[in-house]
Amino acid sequence: MVAAVSLVLAVLVLSALSLSVGAGEVGPGDVLDYLLGRDGARDSSRLSLVVGDLRIPRTLTALAVGAALGTAGCLLQAVTRNPLAETGLLGVNAGASLGVVVGIAFLGVQSGFGYLLWAFGGAVVASSLVLLIAGRRGGGSPMRLVLAGSALGATFGGVTSVLIVNSAETYDRFRFWVLGSLAGVEGFGKLGSLAPVLAVGFVVALLIARPLSALALGDDLARGLGHRPGAIRVVVALSVTLLTAASVALVGPISFLGLLAGFLARAVTGPRLLAQIVLAGLIGAGVLTGSDVLARVVSRPFEAPVSVVIALFGAPVLIAIVRSKRLGAMGMTEPATAETSGPGRRLLPRLPRPAEGRSDTLVVRRGPLSLLVPRRAALAALLLSALLVAAVVLSAYAGQSDMGITRTFNAVFGSGDRFDVLLVQKFRLGRIVAGLAAGAALGLAGCLTQTLARNRLATPELLGVNDGATAAVLLSATLSGTFGAWWAGPLGALAAVLVVTTVSGGLGQRGYRVLVVGLAMSALASAVTQVVLSRRSLNSASSLYVWTSGSLNGRGYSVAVPVLIGLAVLVPLALVVARHLNVLRFDDSTAASLGVSAARIRLICLLLAVGLAGLAVGICGPVGFVALAAPVIAGRLAGPLRVPVLGSMLVGAVLIVLADMLGRIVLNGVEIPVGVVTTVLGGPFLLWVLLGRSAAARV
């Protein structure tokens, strides 16, 4: 009760500040006169414009949107039983962004109402698809909702990037909208049109609180109390969709606020869900209103993006909560092994035992020396090597030129037309080598991270590595005036992971601490990236945006050689610890009983993954999907008995080379970045692998 009253007072104070602060010379006294109708203030056209048409609608919109995002974040964290769930989880933000881009690119939408309609429509379509996919065979379980939302969100994001990179005008409008801002709120038209949607979302959230509390006890107990778990999850998703879609339509996609508000509400109230929902709404309203006030004053006469202010303010607060003793009461001090996602549900399958009388290893002897070669893994490596050679040959041949296969091979060996030799050897082969190096590094980094976290969904992005490396490369480009500092990527990745591990108190048994701090670090680094892009000229920002989507354009031997040297050092280390990685897939006590120091191996794996991911980002930007997919594919080919270190490298290299080739030839005269290709194709792949028949029993 004390917390609620305090938050209400804080929201009122922030609302008064929002009404009193602005670019005009209208102070608190003038605002009070206008509100009370004293001294003919309402007859003043200047006060009517500044207070009545700008500040009051803007403040009410900030309160409504903040409360909506806070409530939606709290509901998502409750229904998924994951305190790290975010409002973009159901693909709502990605769908809204795609809707806006489609409206701009194909219909020339320029007005705020046009953005509103297309954003709301895209958000509703995205969340509806997520619900349909997650409900097939799995009954809409929390894990299926997460997987479906992540996969479709990635696909929508990739399609959005395809449209943006091909139109500078579309990107110019989109890059400011995507930052999230209340600067475009004028009058009550927008808020009035979506107020009924927000009201329905709030009412549904309050009505579903009690059934959702029962669902926290488990599906079986919830059914025993007369509830229907599947229906509860659908209703929660409906409420989240209405609240988030309306919010994105009004002010753009504001990330991190739902996570922050839900997390803080849980830290204050404990397990009481109805109190959590109310406090999350108040926290969201206060944070967004206060951030909007700061956005108006920190860079006068301009406005800072409100989403950047939220990240800069919210990340330290979230980290402070994670570091506090209150975390123990939230049940978040156990390691985030992700082995289970609820009673009896496993993300990772049990390791099968070989059939009796059948060995999976081949003994190779020569004199006094012998070597154990795993049959299935060796066959998989041979198959992947052949596929990689075929991909390299095809990529060297394919392109938007009339060169045939014979001329291509002649050019590879330096004979034939000089233009052909220059095109193949300097441009195509250099680009292919860079792609091979980046793909191998990403595949190995993903394998190490997934084994370290014991979670197939874990990637270096969870530790802020990709965003940190990306921000470092862009900052180096801003300071030096040129682009291509490959070394900035590893430095940014190392700085990010040092901050994450230091602030979270090390890896050890604090899995959730590492994840929360990693998310906060990603939010900060992403905010830096967006600010850099928004402050540059259109041509420069467009080029940098292509790279931040993941691109090999203009990359060659000069950036590939340092990464190849890094791989020559890091890969043998990964192979040395491969045996210990197999043991690390079990708990720490089992590893200790087998003579393996889990803490030391965990640290080595982390440093290897960070170095590899940072080197890859320095080449081609943040191509995160490869680090996710390569170990999954390699594991299916090699079998679950061993960690697919070599297979992950080969798969990563194949994926990057093939995706880059598709990006060069799929559209005549236009190149699609490799990161966009992998994202567009990766979403359906992720759904097929993790939500197919073979995975239905696990998720």
| Position with higher pLDDT, 365 vs 16 | 16
Separation CA 3–CA 279 (nearest Å): 8
- Per-residue confidence band for 586, with pLDDT thresholds at 50, 70 and 90: low
Average pLDDT, the chain: 77
Please state whether the peptide bond connecting residue 349 to the residue before it is cis, i.e. omega within 30 degrees of 0: no
pLDDT of residue 485: 63
pLDDT digits (tens, 9 = 90+) for 325-381: 555 444 444 433 333 333 333 444 444 444 444 456 666 667 676 666 677 778 888
Separation CA 647–CA 381 (nearest Å): 6
- 340: which strand partners? 346
Q: Is 405 helix (H, G, I), strand (E, B) or coil?
A: helix
**Contact (CB, 8 A) for 290 and 348:** no
* Cα three-residue angle 276-282-285, rounded to 5 degrees: 135
Whole-structure pTM value: 0.74
Locate 658 and state its tokens.
């093939």
Supply the Cα-derived Rg of the chain in whole angstroms: 26
pLDDT of residue 12: 92
Nearest to 645 by CA among 555, 585, 562, 563: 585
Neighbours of 5 (CB within 10 A): 9
**Contact (CB, 8 A) for 412 and 619:** no
Report DSSP state, residue 354.
P
Separation CA 685–CA 264 (nearest Å): 35
Element housing 152 (H / E): helix 142-165
Q: What is the average per-residue pLDDT within 548-560?
A: 80
Separation CA 516–CA 74 (nearest Å): 16
End-to-end CA gap in the chain? 39
Locate 407 and state its tokens.
């001329």
State the sign of the Cα–Cα–Cα–Cα dihedral 227, 228, 233, 237: negative
pLDDT of residue 66: 94
Neighbours of 169 (CB within 10 A): 11
Separation CA 662–CA 656 (nearest Å): 10
Q: Is 22 helix (H, G, I), strand (E, B) or coil?
A: coil
**Contact (CB, 8 A) for 494 and 500:** no
pLDDT of residue 331: 44
**Contact (CB, 8 A) for 63 and 289:** yes
Q: What is the average per-residue pLDDT within 389-393?
A: 87
Locate 378 and state its tokens.
């060796």
Neighbours of 36 (CB within 10 A): 10
391 — phi, psi (to 5°)? -65, -40
- 364: which strand partners? 371
pLDDT of residue 509: 44
Residues 6+ apart with CB under 8 A from 99: 118, 119, 120, 121, 122, 123, 125
pLDDT digits (tens, 9 = 90+) for 463-472: 778 888 888 8
Nearest to 458 by CA among 377, 515, 520: 515
Report DSSP state, residue 106.
H
> Going along 405-542, which residue ranges are E strands?
none
Q: Is 252 helix (H, G, I), strand (E, B) or coil?
A: coil
Domains of the chain: 2-329 (1.10.3470.10), 404-693 (1.10.3470.10)
pLDDT digits (tens, 9 = 90+) for 278-330: 999 999 999 999 999 988 887 666 677 788 788 877 777 777 766 665 554 44
